[in-house]
Amino acid sequence: MPDYGQPLQFGLSVTPATAEIDQIAALVDVADTTNLDLVAIQDHAYNPDFLDTWTLIAFLAARTDRVRFFSDVADLALRPPAMLAKAAASLDQLSGGRVELGLGAGAFWDRIAAMGGPGRTPAEAVEATAEAIQVIRLAWETGGPVSFEGRHYHLRGHQPGPGPAHPMGIWLGAVKPRMLGLTGRLADGWVSPLNIYLTPEQIPAAHATIDAGALSAGRAPAAIRRIYNVVGTVGDGPRARSGLSGSVDHWVDTLTRWATELGLDTLIFWPAATSSIQVERFAREVVPRVRKQVAARREHASDGL
């Protein structure tokens, strides 16, 4: 599996638990003051213990200066795409261009239905996601009224605006072939499930499906970001079941290999336990060394051409 050559990005995932807002804010402060690029926040609005993801992003963006945020991933079954586009673009404007948009077709359909959301078959979920991506891109245009007619969504002379403050990425959460192919055709990035659900050994097959989708649409596979959610423990601490756990050296070697041999360019750390020590260790000890080693390997590969 090739290294697609995308610039490396590293991030932190925080759980939007209502009871842990002080701990969440402290971890995000660490991410903002170290060399992390992103903060990822899952979106399960039906969970009674979770804050709303977009409201939490607004709160955290207001208290930070540098780090960027993305939904990992926004539930399209509960968030109409035109309104989601408006919310994401508004946050991007208010944060100085520090928001990306991760999208998901939806999961836990019984809970979605309990909140008034639709019931969709897998095929309908893929179809609705494809429509949603088109609606969002139209809703970010600023040149006049836009229209779209789909089976699940429509725009009829909608006046879009404001647009995002920067070219916002649409990163699609996907694991099965139809969604992976859709990622290649329409999305700017792929958000993989956690490494305990989609193992490194399964990554090449997923890449191949994404790449085939990209080529079928006349797109370059290398233009699509590959985001991997990595649960684990760096050094001492609670161990994650089937996650990545071990010394700093082990993390550095593993992430370097995943970047240069598995084609993963954006690595999001999900600490097995809420701990500023874990985030500090990842950001200050693991990330700089991975950046250095990947740069060296890429330079060596370029010299060998």
Please provide residue 219's backbone torsions phi and psi, each rounded to the nearest 5 degrees.
Answer: -110, 155
What is the DSSP annotation of 279-302?
HHHIIIIIHHHHHHHHHHHHHHHH
Round to whole Å and give the CA distance between 132 and 292: 38
End-to-end CA distance of the chain: 17
DSSP conformation letters of 194-247? ETTTS-GGGHHHHHHHHHHHHHHTT--GGGSEEEEEEEEEESSSPPPTTSEEE-
Question: Do you find a cis peptide bond into 175, omega within 30 degrees of 0?
Answer: no
Query: How far apart (Å, rounded) are the C-alpha atoms in residues 184 and 224?
Result: 7
pLDDT at position 305, please?
A: 59
What is the structure's pLDDT at 240?
63
The residue ranges of every structural domain in the chain are 9-303
Among 56, 68, 62, CA closest to 32: 68
Per-residue pLDDT of 98-131, as tens digits, reads: 999 999 999 999 999 999 999 999 999 999 999 9
- Dump pLDDT digits (tens) for 282-297: 999 999 999 999 999 9
Distance, CA of 5 to CA of 203 (rounded, Å): 16
Among 32-36, 48-52, 271-275, the range scoring the smallest mean pLDDT is 271-275
What is the residue whose two structure tokens read 């992430």? 255
Residue 241, pLDDT > 80, answer: no
21/41 Cα distance (integer angstroms): 13
Q: pLDDT tens across 153-181, in order?
A: 999 999 999 999 999 999 999 999 999 99
pLDDT tier, 201 (very low <50, low <70, confident <90, very high otherwise) = very high
Residues 251 and 264: beta-carbon distance below 8 Å: no
Task: Reply yes or no on whether the pLDDT at 229 is more than 80.
Answer: yes
Cα separation, 219 vs 211, whole angstroms: 9
Q: Which CATH superfamily is domain 9-303 in?
A: Luciferase-like domain (3.20.20.30)
Q: Give the Cα separation of 200 and 192 in Å (integer).
A: 10
DSSP designation for 184: H
pTM for the full predicted model: 0.96
Mean pLDDT along residues 81-97: 98
